[in-house]
Amino acid sequence: MTTRTSSARWQGDLKGGNGSLSLGSGAFEGQYNFNSRFEEGVGTNPEELVAAAHAACFSMALSNALATAGFTPESVTTNATVRLGRVDGNPTITRIDLVTTGNVPNIDESEFLKFAEAAKSGCIISRALGGVGEITLDATLVS
């Protein structure tokens, strides 16, 4: 299997410090800080990156499952929302909401939903995030 890397650097204390991160591929570099992570400040944050990873992984997994079954999708678009809460007083990812739309010829909605549910539990990032309290899915088939 492949290995992927990314790196991050933090300077200073939690609230006054700042950080930078970069993907090993060089496809993205960004700044982050307390405000961008726990409030609404400018910059990225680890949870936003988790959301992007989950949306991408889920879209690929669903597309693959559909195509393998003979329903090659024209497109699958997914938005992921990562929600932070507190568990035992610690900031924790408590929920992830996946909202996906599939444009898939020759499939009915109930069959599409079965594939979507299987992809939700089966994609690599969903499995890696097994400790998240709840992962929801809202899947819509469009034509």
* pLDDT value of position 120: 95
Compute φ and ψ for 126, nearest 5 degrees.
-60, -45
pTM of the model: 0.92
Mean pLDDT of the chain: 95
Structure tokens at 140: 């819509």
CA 99-122-49 angle, to 5 degrees, is: 55
How many CA atoms lie less than 13 Å away from 23 in the CB half-sphere?
12
Give the burial class of 59: count Cβ atoms within 10 A of its Cβ; 0-12 exposed, 13-18 middle, 19 or more buried. buried
Residue 21 — very low, low, confident or very high, per pLDDT cuts 50/70/90?
very high
Q: Which pLDDT tens digit goes with each residue over 75-102?
A: 999 999 999 999 999 999 999 999 999 9
Whether the CB-CB separation of 47 and 35 falls below 8 Å is answered with: no
